[in-house]
Amino acid sequence: MAEKIISIGCDHAGVEHKAQITAHLIEQGWTVINHGTDKTDSVDYPDYAHPVAQDVEEQKATFGVLICGSANGVCMTANKHQGIRAALCWQTEIATLARQHNDANVICLPARFADIPLCIDMVNAFVQTEFEGGRHANRVGKIACQA
């Protein structure tokens, strides 16, 4: 991977998670594009999920990280983008498999159900795991809707 650029966003439930994950990623040499929010005032998660998905879709970032209370809303939103394969992860092994088997490019984290150390472990696993290809490539090729 030539450039280590990652796009990150969250709603009000994920502010502290995002801050800690961002700091960790910067320590690891990543350039982080922060799409907010940085406040705990109630916001609408699609306003933050769409810009992250767009960064990944337009190859401005290698990966995306999205955080909300359950991770369902940001995951659903990101997956509306044709070039996105967003994975809702709650265990490190799931984050690894999302990359290895599904070539996921956005990880979605549930702030209300996964603590910060676990989320950092999941992000590490996600960005360090390569897509396995092989038998999985044909399956991944069938994910996108045909226009």
Catalytic residues: 68, 101
User: Beta strands 106-110 and 63-68: pairing type?
Assistant: parallel
Within 10 Å of residue 113's Cβ, how many Cβ atoms? 11
- Identity of the residue numbered 146: Q
Sign of CA dihedral 29, 14, 45, 81: positive
